[in-house]
Structure 1
């Protein structure tokens, strides 16, 4: 791949390759944009088919974190790390300690956290070498598992989307189809159940679905049947790419709002559901509770303060819906515009400040 051409396309700032022969570490750190502050983004470990595929994933994910952090109102930029390897067989403590030393060498320009294929325990090992890591095991000043907080943010986001679609944020009596019942979605189901929603769930792990049936009185359907159920709200909380040519004609919900990443198979699918009048809560806005939570660790973690910030996901989505109506654009594009406007505003202010400083100095 043409690395500099790929970086130039979306104006990436930095790409760092990290290697440690003794531990087997092969990592790529991508820093997209630090206009709002140091880059924050997790460390993913995956069995990539090629080094080029790993680099492309790091770049894509880093850009996504820029938008996610900006839309969440955080004073943080976007970055991401990918470690090449099988998280089930290739991990060792020396690998993460070596990686921690690379992060320390960036002197706060990049802050990491757990992601797909990594755990709190891996972050603890990184923390032995650097303080520029969040999501470590819970003790004074840290937040622990972010899943319950992510779920709370998604719950608030669903209420905002319901208000947009139905003119009422209450979920009592609403039928909500939850696709995937992992740790985030299970906690989400608890919030929805407490408010009086009727739940229809599915999961490729039948035990996970059965657990929700038992705890919340949900109905369970086969994974492929979730797209066809009669419901008010469809909450994708598992795989990405579930809003596509095959599924869109089958969906009966007026709202799509869930915790899964990259829900749109392609951007044009966001255009289609916009034309159909379906209210779509862009995933990187509604599922930002986790990053808001770990970001609070940078100030010395306070759970009440973090939860109050997570509640603003409701306001962020309301603004996205407002931009969508104002500019007559799909909500995914409105979310991008909201994030870009925030970054552009600060960049312009900073440039104006530097210009003023230059004028002052030139008069002396």
Structure 2
């Protein structure tokens, strides 16, 4: 299916939305997936006119606004806000008319078909897009790394999904979750601060995001004292020691029992990857281990890829290739841009006319 103008790729993340044109090699726009309304509304819509803020504008006015996340755990939970975000993407960020642009929408591996049908309804009936293709972020992360077969390790804001992909198709029955994503890292750090009587104000999320940039993993759980110390300056100007949090919060991904001292619901990342591969046919496993692709914001932690490869090899006694990327946070978006230009993608689109003729039946046929 050919379109006159370059396709728009939108990666609907729970924390950050990435959007841009398939002809580019990087997203044009990246902003927080939040919608802000005045505090005085107290969750209602109000009968008088008021300003609605999207993304980073909303975060900047956090004192005066009530923030809402339209995407939670990879699922769209507030459709009116999601429509506003998509409208903002086209008219404010990309400055492109949606009726002129077909869209590749990257969604979570857990997105049900009912949600995909609702996406088609919004894009075709409200935004009047000429075509839509809904693809899993996990599949697109493989395309973005130059592979069609491998294991996607998607470490996002509120979900950590490990899923094998074979020839561009999800092996959904082997899907694993570690239950330790970015929001859990934030909670771990905050709990640690509470034990140390360090209080955080309304800007706690901003502070926690800054601290998470200091996390690291070592190859053998050892670090010299000179390299161990980490500090962080709070908005108030106070400098605090975050050495323990910087080390332990990341190590929790690999050895939760060692960090906590007791059994938790957190599954070690390397065990999730191996279990995911073991659920697949034996002849597939070598090919899957040849392309283990970490993606999402948490995958940017220094040392993660090297440590993950070591831990998997220790379990399997087989060589493993963990692919690294300087733009791991945008790998799924890059995969969408790659997928848009592939001849095989033509049969995956739903056009506006097809939707008008067949309704949700064509959506179930293409995106099930």
Higher helix share: 1
TM-score (norm 2): 0.28
Q: Which has the higher contact order (CA 8 A, sep 6+)?
A: 2
Using structure 1 for the length normalisation, give the TM-score: 0.28
